[in-house]
């Protein structure tokens, strides 16, 4: 297993959103390039960078992404707002080793994913957000959209396609409640897990 450190970008800074909520963010660094360099120095073999502004359609951190890609020697995979073949190409031209297509792209347009893999092969990663066995095309804080996982069976597995699948609660002690699936008010069990 390879642990890939992640850097989420918002407004040119390295941040963390509490449960994906843009209204609840913690800034970790005003210099994401320094964070990337530190991860590399500490032995990271790859970086995962997400442009939250682009993902939320509130701008972009193109210059920061490019600076990160050029500051480190390790491969950088970048996601956030990548919704066209042109945007994949632009991301790779900036120095990204891989462009990440999110759940919304994968679940709503399997033909797009197939075209992306055909054109860019191993330079495309499909990242799927799964909760309770279902693909989530939007985080609950953005208006819950649950897409049954069987909606994209037409995307065949190929060795050149990298899939990031996560369905567990990370063993993270951050003081936030950990739920097995969704809160009761969103149709889940509401069952809390021990931190």
Q: If you search the block for the tokens 């042109």, which residue do you land on?
A: 86
Whether 179 is in a domain gets the answer: no
Total domains in the chain come to 1
Whether 149 is in a domain gets the answer: yes
Whether 101 is in a domain gets the answer: yes
Whether 187 is in a domain gets the answer: no
Whole-model pTM? Answer: 0.72
Q: For residue 133, what is the domain's CATH number?
A: 3.20.20.70
What does the alpha-carbon distance between residue 104 and residue 136 come to, in Å, rounded to a whole number? 8
CB within 8 Å of 21: residues ≥ 6 apart = 139, 141
Whether 191 is in a domain gets the answer: no
Position 181 scores a pLDDT of 63
Position 128 scores a pLDDT of 72
8 A C-beta contact, residue 42 and residue 35: no
Whether 177 is in a domain gets the answer: no
Would you please indicate which residues are annotated as catalytic (active-site) residues? 8, 129
Per-residue model confidence as pLDDT tens digits over 144-182: 444 444 444 555 544 343 344 444 444 556 666 666 666
The C-alpha R_g of the chain, in whole angstroms, comes to 17
Mean pLDDT on 120-125: 92
CB within 8 Å of 36: residues ≥ 6 apart = 7, 47, 49, 68, 71, 72, 76
8 A C-beta contact, residue 61 and residue 85: no
Q: Which position has the higher pLDDT, 71 or 128?
A: 71
Whether 180 is in a domain gets the answer: no
- Tell me the sheet residues that pair with 165: 128
| SS3 category, 172 | coil
Whether 189 is in a domain gets the answer: no
For residue 149, give its domain range.
Answer: 6-168
Per-residue model confidence as pLDDT tens digits over 73-97: 999 999 998 989 999 999 999 999 9
Give, for 16, the enclosing helix (H) or strand (E): strand 13-18
Q: Which position has the higher pLDDT, 148 or 62?
A: 62
């Amino acid at each position: 297993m390879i642990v890939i450190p992640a850097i989420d970008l918002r407004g040119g800074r390295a941040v963390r959103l509490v449960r994906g909520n843009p209204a609840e963010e913690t800034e970790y660094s005003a210099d994401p390039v320094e964070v990337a360099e530190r991860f590399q120095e500490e032995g990271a073999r790859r970086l995962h960078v997400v442009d939250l502004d682009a993902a939320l359609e509130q701008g972009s951190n193109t210059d920061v992404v490019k600076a990160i890609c050029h500051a480190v020697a390790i491969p950088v995979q970048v996601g956030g707002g990548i919704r066209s073949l042109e945007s994949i190409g632009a991301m790779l031209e900036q120095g990204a080793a891989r462009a990440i297509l999110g759940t919304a792209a994968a679940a709503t347009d399997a033909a797009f994913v197939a075209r992306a893999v055909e054109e860019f092969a191993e330079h495309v990663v499909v990242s799927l957000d799964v909760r309770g066995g279902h693909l989530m095309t939007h985080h609950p804080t953005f208006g819950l959209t649950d897409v049954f996982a069987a909606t994209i069976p037409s995307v065949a597995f190929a060795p050149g396609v990298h899939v990031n699948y996560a369905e567990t609660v990370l063993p993270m002690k951050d003081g936030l409640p950990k739920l097995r699936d969704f809160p009761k008010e969103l149709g889940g069990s509401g069952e809390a897990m021990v931190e």
